[in-house]
Structure 1
């Protein structure tokens, strides 16, 4: 089974964050157009990257920790260049400086972990984060780093920015927090964005509910998106309804509830957050109706950790899958 199949409905989708205005493809070639997707070069990861994938602590939607600043709800939609359709089941990392221009994990901030995290895109190719609006530091305009990890063979790295006047309007409206004042640079004078930033310009709109802001950017990377997701979801619901395990989080053992619309052969797959299949439980042929799977990680020889569990159901109508996250406390 391909890695992209293991997470169909795992993203933490929030409210809509505006209309898409830009699409980028990250590769090593110059800018050109494929289908309706715009291809531009990958940007540098910058001087402050940290490997998030080896620490499941960073699998989180809210990356703020103790950082002060105006709340920023960031939504990134990932699309595949082959067909410009959404790409589910890819990991999206973000990292950026705090309101004062500091990055966690470096210099005086060694050992800190704020404003870093990753999410898995949902069936719509979307990853949502809750963070604070970044500040600026000498030599760089306001920006956010991101990485789209498609597979062990390919990960796209780039940066996004915002309209310069809108950025300084945020700083002015929140002057008590953003004490460095207005950003003296513009994207056009920034050493990263000076060669063009049209397709890295995220939307930025006020959010009346949070008192902060919403941002949105569409990002196109190498690969193929998935079409017909709405139809697939409706068809799956006819044959399979997967519930959240309980308790969750849990220690030692947990129960996974599900119901079948028809007699089906059932398998439960466990995937770790690196996208590797950790275990498969073959439950055989089960009748229509409600069922539970009792799961004990120790009996499977698995460490206490966060896993995606996917139920695979096969019957005369086809093969149907659904997935959730579960967390075993260490």
Structure 2
């Protein structure tokens, strides 16, 4: 069944310095670290674009800039799916996402890290939060109200905003507890000896107030067990972004083309810091005449493994 979860359901743990994931059976964990056909070498061009010759006051060379930290957002679920293919049955343009995680100070790859990724579907809906998501598509409901209200509201609103209310264009907001059992387009996998990890997913859609993006967390100093990943801390919480050319091309393909949600552009987004690769902008490869065949995205993520950046 789509979005199946463990019998008792995932339980979000707000203390992100101790985290444990449970996955049915040990097969997925046993496969962690095995090279796949989707693995690919990080681009030398990308390395050049993010390299810097600056040195710290202690004369230690900094060869990569730290990748920008961002908010976790309200829809994070502590990892409950140890897998590289997070697509499930969601429709959309195939996306192969390859990440290389390195220590930004030493340039050495970070192996055995747990990398989480999660994002909305082609119409802006997040699994686990379908009733709270602000995306949408298709035609307007047939029972939509018409005409002009006969009496205008008066007075000052009282009480608290409803739980799960969108946070406008900030992309932030307090964490929300999941409202359903779906878990598509979410997953966690282990970096290999070269610090690389590859996910198979779909090109994300968009929702109100945000440009097209993918969320990520990098966890280190934990332990991989038969049950999943336990302990450690999040050294990076960030987001990956897509250039306007690719997003406009995707918008011509179904089901993206059926979206009725106004789109926020990359330059309008309040989370992306406009710094290119350092800010999480992906390097993308695809057939410019037919993006529907699939997209390959890659980026090197420079982190400070001794720091805690949980995005909350």
Structure 2 CA distance for aligned equivalents of residues 171 and 85 of structure 1: 38
Change (3 A) 1:41 1:34: farther
* 1:82 match: 105
Larger radius of gyration: 1
In structure 1, the residue matched to 2:40 is: 16
Aligned to 1:187: 266
| Structure 1 residue 180: Cα displacement | 1.6
TM-score normalised by L of structure 2: 0.59
Residue 184 of structure 1: how far off its partner (Å): 3.0
Cα distance in 1 between the residues matched to 2:291 and 2:304: 36
> 1:202 matched to which residue of 2?
282
Higher relative contact order (CA 8 A, sep 6+): 2
Aligned partner of residue 217 in structure 2, secondary structure: strand
Q: 1:129 to 1:153 in 2, by over 3 A?
A: closer
1:1-330 alignment runs, 5 A limit: 10-13=33-36, 14-16=38-40, 19=43, 21=46, 23=50, 35-52=62-79, 55=80, 58-108=81-131, 110-151=180-221, 152-172=232-252, 174-180=253-259, 184-194=263-273, 196-199=275-278, 200-206=280-286, 211-223=293-305
RMSD over aligned Cα atoms: 2.9
After the TM superposition, which parts of structure 1 deviate over 4 Å for at least 4 consecutive aligned residues? 207-210
Residue 34 (structure 1) shift: 5.8
Question: Unpaired runs of 5+ in structure 2?
Answer: 1-29, 52-59, 132-178, 222-231, 307-312
TM-score (norm 1): 0.56
- How many residue pairs are counted as aligned between the two chains? 204
Q: Which runs of 5+ in 1 are unaligned?
A: 1-6, 25-32, 225-330
Would you tell me which structure has more strand in proportion to its own residues?
1
1:204 is displaced (CA, Å) by 1.2
- Residues 193 and 131 (structure 1), Cα distance of their counterparts in 2 relative to 1, 3 Å cut: same
Q: Deviations over 1:248-306 (max 9, x none)?
A: xxxxxxxxxxxxxxxxxxxxxxxxxxxxxxxxxxxxxxxxxxxxxxxxxxxxxxxxxxx
Q: Distance in 1 between matches of 2:118 and 2:106?
A: 28
